[in-house]
Amino acid sequence: MLITACSKQADNGLPDGVQWQTPQYSRMFLLGVNGKDSFIALKNPSDTSQWLQIIHWGSNTTPKNCISVQKRNRIACMTAVFSGMMEVLQTETLICCTDNTKFHTGPKCQKWFSKSKVTEAGKGVSIDMETLLKSNPDLVLTYYIDNKGREEWNGINRNGIPVIFLQNYLETHPLARAEWLKVFGWLLGKTDEAETFFSMVREHYESLAANIKESNPEKPTVFCNAPYSGNWDLPAGESYMAAMFADAGADYLWKDVKGAGKITLDIEKVYQKARNADFWINPGGCRTADCLTQIDRRLELFDAGKTGGIFNATKTQNPQGGNAWWDYAVVRPDLVLRDLIQIFHPDLVPEQQETIFFEALKD
Amino acid sequence: MRNIGIILSLSALCILLVWLDLTAGEMPLNNPVFYNFRLPRVISAAVAGVGLAISGLAMQTLFRNPLAGPFLTGATPGASFAVAVFLMAFPVGFTGSLLQSAGIAVVGIAGSLLVLLLQLFIQRRHGHAFTLLLSGVLLGYLLGAGTEILQGLAQAEQIKSFVMWGLGSFDRVQPEDIPILLGVVTVSSVLLWFARFSMDAYLPGDAYATSAGVNVSLFRKKTVILAGLAAGTITGFCGPIGFVGMIAPHFARGLMKSNNHAVLWIPTLLCGMALCLLADLLAHHLVSDMTLPTNAICAIIGAPALLWIILRKG
């Protein structure tokens, strides 16, 4: 099977004659078919009117300025988010190289990593390109934060290995982020499995959100994260977490802040607004109340701490620092939503179970 | 009379800035926010301003260089490197322990002092002030490179801790930290004040200082340790706060038109205090519903001011 990754077209347009399917939630990729050829167009995150990469799969024609990959048996999967998706599609055994195996928490991935000789090309945030090349991948799946980070991959491209940038972390809706499973399904020949799995996730998520909307419960106030050196990053009102809080029937205190990124506030400003909030979600790396007050003693002044309203997504954290929150939760936003509803409105959860990702802070 | 007028004006400016910083955003005094967050922050801004300014004045004299300051002598890069080592040493998920919270301040001080002790060792071998400045710059590069390598090996959360610390903030100083910060800055400043006549004699050259009865070697050691202790403590607690240590003595010299340290002392510390309070005020209230990095505000105020001074002097 031939895969062709096309760089941005000169006219920034899409190839002719392709029938494009728009995903339901994501606004950052398109799936296309033209006869026996398949396409995925990935939008440029910094300018969504432009295409970052147009990926072609087929054997009939190789479009201009395209890189062909004859094989996809060995994949360099450079983040746990992607290995989580590959595990869902039962394709984790294609992984030949990754960033740091200890952060990939999926049981099948862990089994594969311990059984096979998967190369670790990264320590920390840096990737050793030479080590990555030695693992002899057919394809690299990665992401970048800024253009400088993107250019670091040029060396891999020059060696004839296509590098596909999957920027799903920039999606602002939980289901949009999970919908990238379809991209993996396409790349790995598991289109039907990806469609089926995503449909299941979408239906579960939507039914939970609809149930909350219909019940229209009183919305508890919520805020999140923790300060680092006096500075407190909070998701803006159009962000992934803000959408999740809204769907879970909570009143996120910074919901009116425009944008999908983050805002940085000082601890005083956060306290002024959130001191009486009902819930505090994801307070840094802390699993105990003691740990939280050791960051800053003043954090014990928040009411949420006095009423047992602090929950952290550390339940699935392993001793090495890996956490299913960073991989499995991305592909299962429905389970994250169910956890949050169970925290905010325990009486409204249809299937009463233990939370999967979140745990209350211990004393 | 003119000098007293300037000191009174600077004092009034500081009082005004303290008042504005304390009460901005309609902050009632009976609000718990005031005592737990606002007051410690404003006190730490004022104390850090004094400490950095006095440290800067002492280092400019010691190195006989108007650009000397905690950054150029290696004190701040030393603190930054030590903090980076400390933060990277903790596994991801362990952030937020007591060791980390108090430890950042302690290792910041230790890093700064270690660099300055190394400086003293170099001074013993090659005692010229120029050598000290050059070695400070080179150590700064070396430690900066080490910090970058550590960042390359670190995990995202560890880098975040370090980056946030590097933004500089008086918010992270807690009420119980204030006595330590105040104590170290007060002791350093007072002990340096006692060396003001030695500083005057040292400024024209080693030979002049020796003829005036100054033990040059001992003077350098004391000045390096005291100035480094103040700068390291402030960097450890508040993160790197740039330009204040360099620019405050220049403002004081410009206002007092003197190089006499007894004359410059109070205006320098008042200028430092005013700069930090102004930076803190702007960082918190320039943009509503957002907090700007204090270190960046200091640079925005300090860099053009320094350029203006340089251009004015021709």
Mean pLDDT for the stretch of residues B104-131: 77
Q: Check CB contact under 8 Å for B291 and A231.
A: yes
- Residues in A whose CB is inside 8 Å of some CB of B read 123-126, 226-231, 257, 263-269, 271-272, 275, 284-286, 291-292, 294-298, 301, 314, 317, 320-321, 323
Beta-carbon contacts of A287 under 8 Å, excluding residues fewer than 6 positions away, are A312, A314, A317, A359, A361, A362
Residue A5 has a pLDDT of: 54
Q: Which residue of A has its CA nearest to B280?
A: A266
pLDDT tens profile B75-112: 888 888 888 888 777 654 444 444 555 677 788 888 88
The pair of three-digit structure tokens given for residue B81, joined into one six-digit string: 């490197």
Distance separating alpha carbons of residues A141 and A143, to the nearest angstrom: 7
Query: What pLDDT is attached to residue A8?
Result: 46
pLDDT for residue B271: 96
Can you give the pLDDT of all 363 residues of chain A as single tens digits? 445 555 444 345 677 778 888 899 998 999 888 887 878 888 888 787 888 888 887 776 666 665 566 678 899 999 999 999 999 999 999 999 998 888 888 889 999 998 888 898 886 667 888 899 989 999 999 988 887 788 888 888 888 888 999 988 888 899 999 999 999 998 888 999 999 999 999 999 999 999 999 998 999 999 999 988 788 999 999 999 999 999 999 999 999 998 888 899 999 999 999 999 999 999 987 888 888 887 788 899 999 998 899 999 999 988 777 889 989 999 999 999 999 999 999 888 766 678 999 999 987
Q: Is B171 on the interface with A (CB under 8 A)?
A: yes
Q: What mean pLDDT comes out for the span B152-170?
A: 79
Residues of B in contact with A295 (CB under 8 A): 95-96, 100-101
- Greater pLDDT, B207 or B132: B207
d(CA B230, CA B54): 9
Q: Is the pLDDT of residue B241 over 70?
A: yes
The pLDDT value recorded for residue B198 is: 94
Does B167 contact chain A (CB < 8 Å)? yes
Phi, psi of A168 (to 5 degrees): -70, -15
Is it the case that residue B115 has pLDDT exceeding 50? yes
Amino acid at A43: K
E strand residue ranges, chain B? none
Specify the DSSP element, H or E, that contains A174.
helix A174-178
Task: Determine if the pTM surpasses 0.90.
Answer: no
B213: left (phi over 0), alpha (psi -120 to 50) or beta: left
CB-CB under 8 Å, B37 with A267: yes
For B152, which residue in chain A has the nearest alpha carbon? Answer: A126
* DSSP string covering A294-332: HH-GGGGGSHHHHTT-EEES-TTB-TTS-BGGGTHHHH-
| Per-residue confidence band for B13, with pLDDT thresholds at 50, 70 and 90 | very high
How distant is the Cα of A350 from the closest Cα of chain B, in angstroms?
A: 32
Cβ neighbourhood burial of A14 (10 Å; 0-12, 13-18, 19+): middle
Q: Are strands A163-165 and A37-44 parallel, antiparallel or unpaired?
A: unpaired
**Residue whose token pair is 């975040």:** B160
Query: Is the Cβ–Cβ distance between A355 and A332 less than 8 Å?
Result: no
B293-297: list long-range contacts, CB under 8 Å, 24+ apart: B293/A231, B293/B167, B293/B168, B293/B169, B294/B167, B294/B168, B294/B169, B294/B170, B294/B238, B294/B239, B294/B241, B295/B166, B295/B167, B295/B168, B295/B239, B295/B240, B295/B241, B295/B242, B296/B167
Q: Which of A229, A231, A268 sits opposite B41 (nearest CB)?
A: A268
Report the complex ipTM. Answer: 0.77
Higher-pLDDT residue of B287 and B197 is B197
Backbone angles phi, psi at A3, to 5 degrees: -115, 135
CA distance A138 to A73: 7
CA A293 to chain centre: 30
Cross-strand partners of A5: A55, A67
Q: What is the mean pLDDT of residues B220-246?
A: 87
The amino acid at A101: T
* Six-digit token string for A16: 């002719």
Strands (DSSP E) found in B74-158: none
Q: Given CA atoms B8, B11, B16, B19 in this order, what sign does their dihedral have?
A: negative
Q: Which residue from B91, B97, B153 is facing A321, i.e. has the nearest CB?
A: B91
| Residue with tokens 């995202």, as numbered in its chain | B156
- Provide the pLDDT for residue A9: 45
